[in-house]
Amino acid sequence: MTKRATKQETELRVAHAAELVAEGRAYSSITSLVAEKYGISRRRARQITSNAYLLLKDDLEEGDLNRPEMTAKLVCTLETAMFRAMQEKQYSAVASNAKVLMKLIGLEAKIKS
């Protein structure tokens, strides 16, 4: 039977995943890296990755960045993530990032209509 992670270990894992998010890595890539590094299930790794996104969201909401600055940073990060995913032939990650990018810049609603 495997040992459960302590609260501190879980916080460190979430912080590590948040660093990967900030680097522009794709969600599925982060999940795989976290699962492998900590020897945990993909399900648990997905929870940690989701918590990392929430951590960054909370940090941004508390910060003093205005919307245009944040939008520009997100566009750049998403484009970088898509480029890296294409290089690694992770096409599902490319599609996921493209979907987020389209929603961010307002193209999603136009395509649906």
- Whether 56 and 22 have beta carbons less than 8 Å apart is answered as yes
Reported as a single tens digit per residue, the pLDDT across 72-109 is: 877 888 888 889 999 999 898 889 888 888 887 777 65
Reported as a single tens digit per residue, the pLDDT across 10-44 is: 999 999 998 888 887 888 999 999 999 999 999 99
Reported as a single tens digit per residue, the pLDDT across 43-70 is: 999 999 999 988 888 777 776 666 677 6
What pLDDT, on the 0 to 100 scale, is given for residue 24?
79
Q: How far apart are CA 6 and CA 11, in angstroms?
A: 9
Per the rule left: phi > 0, alpha: psi between -120 and 50, beta: everything else, 104 is alpha
- Residue 21's closest CA among 50, 62, 44? 50
Is pTM, for the whole model, over 0.95?
Answer: no
